[in-house]
Amino acid sequence: MTINPEVNDINTTYEYGWSNPESYAIKAPKGLRRDVVEMISKAKDEPQWMLDFRLKALDIFNSKPMPEWGADLSGLNLDEIYYYIKPEGFNTRSWDDVPDDVKKTFERLGIPEAERAALAGVGAQYESEMVYHNLKEEWEKLGVVFLSIEDGLKEYPDLFREHFATIIPPEDNKFAAINSAVWSGGSFVYVPKGVKVDIPLQTYFRINAESSGQFERTLIIIDEGAQAHYIEGCTAPSYSSDSFHSGVIEIVVKEGARFRYSTIQNWSHNVYNLVTQRAAVYGNGVMEWVDGNLGSKVTMKYPACYLLEDGARGEILSIAMAGRGQHQDAGGKIVHFAPYTSGSIVSKSISKDSGRSSYRGLVKIYEGAKYAKTNVECDALLLDEEARTDTYPYIEIEEKTARVGHEATVSKINDEQILYLQSRGLSKDQAAGLIVRGFIEPIAKELPLEYAVELNRLIELEMEGSVG
């Protein structure tokens, strides 16, 4: 496959850097303005309340300053972004009806094969719209809903409005506000009481156009006693100009339910990836985030669990790999509102070639959350002298009976380990890759086999030439 020749050397190992010729039904002008927001709402034939919501969110966005506490966002020019691009032919349940160029894109990414092999349903987003969504009939018969977010609004208006923007309102942060103003695409998932979907659902996001933004909004509701697993993947072409991704993921895990949300994020190195992800977890429910961050120019992403009722549990597993020109600012948040809640955050980061990784996390235990407990583990691996890692833990405890643990380690690849592995016939790069795979093993083992293999393969691509 061909990498765009304009791109910087940092993308030479990026496998998904190709792009298609642009062919769109609607392409908004650059910049975030009221008329662009109105264009999006009109194109989607939305009810008046949603347009009002978008315009209010635009005002909130304009009133909030850019954050200065995390990664450097000074290079992100929001006036040079296309905020809405509608591809030709979209949101079909038949793979045959997807336009040929879009279909070929997702075939190269393995989407139809993955659906046939190991998934309960597949969604595919191209630019600003879902081009394909399909759920296997066996799950439809049990009442499982897996639609584009737009179809969720139209077909389940009461359930949609009951939960939409209640977990992540526009006021939450500047990028939640921008998403609320221009959201397009994403999934709407509902799993009924007691239904256990034992194979994953997947949505795959692809940016194609240069200087484009993608602002999917996903709303997932797991009813009492239900279980499901959702996997998200994403890629983009390599361009010399920057693109912008700012998704919002809202999840409701009701009493006794269990849900896992897995991400393997592999954006090209010209993408600003600024995402808000949060789950509300009710009595004895379990929420699990498995979060892999390899690509992008800048990532700021902190999956969160709000533990609202007795016995709720939240788990966050995070892996970030930062190479030349990248800053991965990742971590997690667990907030305890109720007694006997528990949580854990395990964060692994790898930095090389002047790349920078940061753990940024919050543990908050409110007064009255008796016997709440959370443990945080942060492990960083530096592959060379130019790499950098930071840890920014925030721990706020207002309950005397709570228990919180935090530990952090920073290590370098040991020359003796490399030498030992070389004595067994491995090259330096192979030896380093083996050590790194062992380092991320706690994360990889939580993924389905196909995705664990993919994660290890992506790590190997990133590791090429990193030692010696």
Task: Decide which of 460 and 119 is more confident.
Answer: 460
Task: Decide which of 348 and 135 is more confident.
Answer: 348
* 128-139: average pLDDT: 77
pLDDT tens digit sequence for 258-282: 999 998 888 888 899 999 999 999 9
- Cβ proximity of 291 and 321 under 8 Å: no
- Cβ proximity of 335 and 364 under 8 Å: yes
Look-up: residue for tokens 């996997």?
231
Task: Decide which of 322 and 460 is more confident.
Answer: 322
pLDDT tens digit sequence for 164-194: 999 999 999 999 999 999 999 999 999 999 9
Q: What is the model's pLDDT at position 465?
A: 53
Torsion region of 15: left, alpha or beta (phi above 0 gives left; psi -120 to 50 gives alpha): alpha
Residue 287: pLDDT over 50? yes
258: its two tokens: 């269990």
Residue 108: pLDDT over 70? no
Residue 435: pLDDT over 50? yes
* 321-332: average pLDDT: 94
In a 3-state reduction of DSSP, which class is residue 178?
helix
DSSP state of 92: B
pTM across the whole model = 0.88
* 51-62: average pLDDT: 98
* 19-45: average pLDDT: 84
Residue 94: pLDDT over 80? no
Q: What is the model's pLDDT at position 430?
A: 82
Task: Compute the distance between CA of residue 317 and CA of residue 290 in angstroms, rounded to an integer.
Answer: 5
Task: Compute the distance between CA of residue 12 and CA of residue 195 in angstroms, rounded to an integer.
Answer: 45
Task: Decide which of 81 and 100 is more confident.
Answer: 81
pLDDT tens digit sequence for 142-153: 999 999 999 999
288: its two tokens: 């699990």
* 338-356: average pLDDT: 95
Question: Residues 244-255, buried b or exposed e (16+ Cβ, 10 A)?
Answer: bbbbbbbbbbbb
Confidence of residue 15 (pLDDT cuts 50, 70, 90): low
Look-up: residue for tokens 């050397």?
9
Task: Compute the distance between CA of residue 357 and CA of residue 329 in angstroms, rounded to an integer.
Answer: 6
Q: What is the model's pLDDT at position 6?
A: 35
Decide: residue 456, CB within 10 A, 0-12 exposed, 13-18 middle, 19+ buried.
middle
Q: What angle do CA 55, 306, 68 make, to 5 degrees?
A: 55
Dihedral of the CA atoms 290, 296, 297, 298 (nearest 10)?
-30
Residue 71: pLDDT over 80? yes
Question: Residues 301-335, buried b or exposed e (16+ Cβ, 10 A)?
Answer: bbbbbbbbbebbbbbbbbbbbbbbbbbbbbbbbbb
Task: Compute the distance between CA of residue 237 and CA of residue 157 in angstroms, rounded to an integer.
Answer: 35
24-27/85-87 β-pairing: antiparallel
Strand ranges (E), 52-178 = 85-87, 121-126, 129-135, 145-148
Residue 154: pLDDT over 70? yes
* 108-125: average pLDDT: 61
Residue 234: pLDDT over 60? yes
Confidence of residue 447 (pLDDT cuts 50, 70, 90): confident
